[in-house]
Structure 1
Amino acid sequence: MKIALLDSGIGLLAAAAAVRRLRPDAALVLTSDPDGMPWGPLTSEDIADRALACARAAAAHDPDALIVACNTASVHGLPVIREEFEHAFPVVGTVPAVKPAAAGGGPIAVWATPATTGSDYQRALIRDFADGVEATEVPCPGLADAVERADEAAVDAAIEAAAARTPRDVRAVVLGCTHYELVAERIRAAVQQPGLAPLVLHTSAGAVAAQALRRIGVRPDPGAAMSGDLTVLLSGREAGLPDAALTYAEGRLLASTAPAAQG
């Protein structure tokens, strides 16, 4: 089987690694858009256009499913991507895990990009799935860009600033940007308060990976023989994993299981 994943940048690594763990025999196609980054400041129409271009690049490799492993692309581009490709293969979007976070009780915080924080989309999620639970929207300016560049100092500064805007009594944090999952434990350490119960982080990578397998009628099989087949498309061009990807455990996992793709 072949699973494609789409993001503006390396935020797709977490979901790709989740697919690799669930089905080591799956071939992976990673399609991103370094030429057009960052997507956040673009208009909704431009984001949809760039996400659709990434999807078309992946579609040329005949995947069995496409994961839109990007919250911004899912908000603005999922309808047009599904309109063009759902007849050919399942398209799975990424939604912040507000519902499971709220089910565990509050208060909760939703960390997201400034463009997503306060958006009608995110507020509707909170209204529909966190009714009666105290939920705080926390904008995280610069964090996704810092993760993309693997700029350690900038990552720490952005996390520290967002943690300062997060209520001290939150029980759970929803990571509303796939890039944030790559630094999840650093976020946990910054938000966790002494003397309180362990903070719960709610991510999306595992859920979207499992959903993609369900959509193509395949069960998880972590013990399957490793495929190692990895195709990386950077604004449509075949390449290796970006250097920044290899600074994260998820990127190193993908690289270690696909040595031929990195030659």
Structure 2
Amino acid sequence: MRVKGLIFLVILVFLCTALGNSYVRYLVEPGDKLFNIIRDYNIRISTILDFNCIDDPRCLESGQAIYIPVRDGFFYDVQEGDSLEYIAKLFFALVEDIMKANGLSYSSKIFTGQRLFIPLEAVSVCSNVNISTQYSWPVYGKISSEFGWRKDPFTGTSTFHSGLDIAVQQGAPVFAARDGTVIEAADNGGYGLNIIILHADGSKTRYAHLSHISVYSGQRVARGELIGRVGETGRATGPHLHFEIIDSKDQCKDPRSYLSSSQYMYVRKEPGSLGLGGK
């Protein structure tokens, strides 16, 4: 049954590629393991988790449908007011790579609800790494609330804000700010859907209020790897990413001290340049 399933999926991939579709539908057979499926088709597990609602990648149900991109990469549904340039910044990608992957040109118009494919090799090529700390911005957006004491948006009282809030629309991609191992990927009360990554020096980063989690506990991730999508789950007043940096003594630190200037969240690296620009 396993061999027949593989043959069927190969045929579907060929047909969908010929028809211009970007993914195929695979029905889980008894004994199937997600890790074997992604190995067979050279797709990373975060890609599959990003495009599917899978509670536990270690346990699949027979007959469950899994959607598998023909190429490794991610999908983005165009929202009102989006431009190709802005979408490229959300994925820290080059607009030329997105146009090529979707058969678009500089004169092409995009429309609300249109689904674009962002190839894996295009993602995070324009992220800006702070050389001294090795952290990069986890999302492209606007700072809506700083680290430190502030007026609580729900109670109006003065409370300590343990992270940095970055406002951006629902469904925007979230990336690992530093290499590490996922130690939590679940709903966590006021944080909503959240991810915690443990780094080699004992520090941690938290990514909260997500709409979707694209990693699992125990997974190794690299800086710039897509790990989830922006949302407003938990105690939130609108879509944004709550981002924390926690040192090895479990003390929250101001992320501004570890990230590059917010003016350079996105850096278009040109041959022979210093890597600055593209605010």
Q: TM-score, normalised by structure 1?
A: 0.27
Q: Which structure shows the higher strand fraction?
A: 2
Higher relative CO (Cα under 8 Å, sequence separation at least 6) belongs to: 1
Q: Which structure shows the higher helix fraction?
A: 1
Higher Cα Rg, which structure = 2
Q: TM-score, normalised by structure 2?
A: 0.26
